Amino acid sequence: MITVRKLKLTIVGDEETRNQQYKLIRDEQYQQYRALNLCMSLLSTYNILNNWNSGAENKLNSQIEKLNKKVEKNKNDLKKDNLKEKRIE
């Protein structure tokens, strides 16, 4: 369970100092939100691309391997047939 507490921040000082300090806090919060948004976007993009590519690549690689095995088998069969023809002649 996550608990949240709301804090009320009060800066003691003259008007100009308070405005500067509040502006600093707002600017820092804005930078934190931007950084968090950027990180979450990168993580989400990486996750989507990784999930999408991993399945397609594996499937493609297995299909290529199967085709290569078939090609090798056919080559071997042709060699055997050529040897048989030479023996008959």
Three-state SS at 3: coil
pTM score, whole prediction = 0.48
For 17-30, what is the mean pLDDT?
94
Q: What is the pLDDT of residue 85?
A: 67
DSSP structure string for 61-76: HHHHHHHHHHHHHHHH
15's tokens: 């008007």
| pLDDT confidence band for 89 (50 / 70 / 90) | low
pLDDT, one tens digit per residue, over 58-88 is 788 889 999 999 999 988 888 877 766 666 6
41-62 burial code (b ≥16 CB/10 A, e <16): eeeeeeeeeeeeeeeeeeeeee
